[in-house]
Amino acid sequence: FSPELDDLRDITINGKDWIAKLQKTERERTSISSLKIGYNKVFGYYIDISNAHKDKVPESYIRKQTLVNSERYITPELKEYEDKILNAEEKIYELESQLFNEIRLMAAADASRIQANARLIAVTDCLVSFAECAESYKYTKPELVEGNKLEIKNGRHPVVEQILPPGEKFNPNDCSLDNETNQIAIITGPNMAGKSVYIRQVGLIVLMAQIGSFIPAESSEIGVVDRIFTRVGASDNITGGESTFLVEMQEAANILNNASSKSLVLLDEIGRGTSTFDGISIAWAITEYLHENPEVSAKTLFATHYHELNEMSELFLRIKNYKVEVREYEDKVIFLHKVNPGRADHSYGIQVAQMAGLPQFVTNRAKEVLQNLESKELTPHEERIEKLRKLKEKDENQIDMFEIKDDKLRGEIDNLEIEKLTPLEALNKLSELKKKVKNGKD
């Protein structure tokens, strides 16, 4: 673009080579084998010749300094190149600034055409990428439909299927959701079974369909969604003083406050950042809210280890259970990576821990502890039932204030100004009311 700029850059890069070449040339021309070219801050570049060869110095050399054992000279050619070397950086900066401004003015004059071409190139590049992927990976054309239907036949994860080890095939899975009969899918199964991959796969397929790409599936019917909400992974915000659980709840709150019946919600292990009972309770309540709130009622895939959530399918019409299939063989678990209707019976946590490489002592001890916990679980269950029965009988013998039929007594209670009573007056009033209730009941 600029020969002058190229020359200056060549000087800064190849300056030492030019000096070495000049030194070799001058040695041959003068027959002075000890001739050297040096540099200092006072004189710049100079030619150093020992006193023994003073008689061979060419007339074109200009003496600059006399030392005890040698003399130093300069030449017009050497000084000219010295100026170029010393000033090259500054000249490069000035010339680059000048050229940049010239190019900027040229670009500004044609900005609209450049931007239009850039948009066309970007669209073309995107469509070519879509076409290449569709052809290479056997993607199919999605059918976008009216309504809230989401039907995917033999869908695949577009990324995971490309990074599997050689010879290993990705197991495709179906997905069927709508807002009428199959709104929420509770997906259970052990770690490594493929729950997270499955829900992400569905989200990516819907996203790809809506941006105009073919999708990794055998066939599909996809209703357009307004947003895809995700609550996946676990991370904290240490600098902001936010724990993993708090971040998780903030993300869940964003979903519940902004999702609509046209949204797709992907939930992965909600509630695992707190105690088991708290986690189950929160996960249950969130799922119930998504089902019962008519302003939300979003299509939802919920991957969880809380098998208790499977009970929701018996209480709520549009909640269905799905499980990731596994097989047990000689105390080992084989992951089939297939999602089918039903509920997982076990978590297989110890088997997964064995696969992860935990010491055998640890896994054997874990089995003992698990058996002990499971055997003890039966007795407390019966005891809890008996306690609940006795508690129920006790409650039946107690006075229920909401069963009071005496309107006069109700009015007296309603008119009490509790904040104006002293503790003693309050106790006396309570005793008086208790007697009236008992007399009325008798």
Rounded Cα gap, residues 258 and 230, in angstroms: 12
What is the chain's mean pLDDT, rounded? Answer: 85
Residue 372 shares a structural domain with residue 423: no
User: Poorest-confidence range of 88-102, 348-362, 415-429?
Assistant: 415-429
Cβ 32 vs Cβ 56: under 8 Å: yes
CB atoms within 10 A of CB 216: 28
Q: Is the pLDDT of residue 28 over 60?
A: yes
* Pair 280, 384 in one domain: no
For the whole prediction, is pTM greater than 0.75?
no
- Let me know whether 35 and 81 are in one domain: yes
Region 136-140: mean pLDDT is 96
The H or E element that residue 62 is part of is strand 62-66
Residue 47 located in a structural domain = yes
Q: pLDDT, tens digit, for every residue of 303-346?
A: 998 888 999 999 999 999 999 998 877 777 888 999 999 998 77
| 94 within a domain of the structure (yes/no) | yes
Residues in the chain: 442
Distance between CA atoms of residues 260 and 276, nearest Å: 29
Same domain for 303 and 178: yes
The first and second tokens of residue 232, run together, are: 């996946």
Identify the pLDDT of residue 393. 54
Q: 160-212: per-residue pLDDT in tens? A: 999 999 888 999 999 999 999 999 999 998 888 899 999 999 999 999 999 99
Q: Which of 358, 384, 417 is the last residue of a domain?
A: 358
**Residue 333 sits in the same domain as residue 293:** yes
For position 17, which CATH number holds? 1.10.1420.10
Shared domain for 44 and 27, answered yes or no, is yes
| Mean predicted confidence (pLDDT) in 404-423 | 70
Same domain flag for 424 and 346: no
User: What average pLDDT does this structure show over 370-398?
Assistant: 55
**The predicted structure's pLDDT at residue 242:** 63
Q: Do 13 and 46 fall within a single domain? A: yes
Q: Is residue 199 part of a domain?
A: yes
Residue 379, in any domain of the structure: yes
Domain count for the chain, please give it: 4
Confidence of residue 128 (pLDDT cuts 50, 70, 90): very high
Q: Beta partners for 266?
A: 230, 301
Q: Which residue has the tokens 């300069």?
A: 74
pLDDT for 340-377, tens place per residue?
999 987 777 887 788 788 898 898 888 888 888 777 65
**Mean pLDDT calculated for residue range 66-78:** 91
Name the most confidently modeled range: 4-13, 82-91, 142-151, 225-234. Answer: 142-151
Residue 389 inside a domain? The answer is yes
Range of the domain at 387: 365-395
Answer yes or no: is pLDDT of 427 > 50: yes
Q: Indicate if 302 and 178 belong to the same structural domain.
A: yes
Residue at token pair 């019962």: 292
Q: Domain holding 147: CATH number?
A: 3.40.50.300
Among the candidates 330, 358, 386, a domain finishes at: 358
Residue 191 lies in a domain: yes
Q: Are 287 and 178 in a shared domain? A: yes
pLDDT for 332 = 76
The pLDDT value given to residue 85 = 79
User: CA dihedral defined by 305, 310, 311, 313, rounded to 10 degrees?
Assistant: 150
Q: State the residue for tokens 């069963």.
A: 403
**87 and 174 fall within a common domain:** no
Contact 199, 187 (CB under 8 A): yes
Same domain, 13 and 27: yes
Q: Which of 5-14, 137-146, 264-273, 401-410 shows the lowest per-residue confidence on average (mean pLDDT)?
A: 401-410
What is the model's pLDDT at position 399?
46
Query: 396 pLDDT band (50/70/90 cuts)?
Result: very low
Q: Is residue 127 part of a domain?
A: no
Residue 128 lies in a domain: no
Rounded to whole angstroms, the Cα distance separating 364 from 368 reads 7
